[in-house]
Amino acid sequence: MQDLLSVAARAERLGVAARTIYNRRHEGLDLPPAIEIGSRVLFDPVDVQAWLDKKKQPTAPLDPHPDTNVKRRAGRPTKAESLARRKAAQEGA
Residue 10 included in any domain: yes
User: What is the pLDDT at residue 59?
Assistant: 75
Spatial separation of the C-alpha atoms in residues 7 and 19, rounded to whole Å:
9
Beta strands in the chain (DSSP E): 5-6, 34-37, 40-43
Residue 29 included in any domain: yes
DSSP-based three-state secondary structure for 72: coil
For 41-88, the pLDDT digits (tens) are 999 999 989 988 988 887 777 666 666 666 667 788 888 889 999 999
Residue 80 included in any domain: no
Query: What one-letter code names the amino acid at 68?
Result: T
Count of the separate structural domains present in the chain:
1
Of 29, 30, 28, 34, whose CA–CA distance to 9 is shortest? Answer: 34
Total-model pTM: 0.56
Residue 88 included in any domain: no
User: What is the pLDDT at residue 65?
Assistant: 62
**What is the Cα Rg of the chain in Å?**
26
Residue 92 included in any domain: no
User: What is the pLDDT at residue 42?
Assistant: 92
- Residue 26 belongs to what domain range? 5-55
User: What is the pLDDT at residue 92?
Assistant: 76
DSSP-based three-state secondary structure for 41: strand
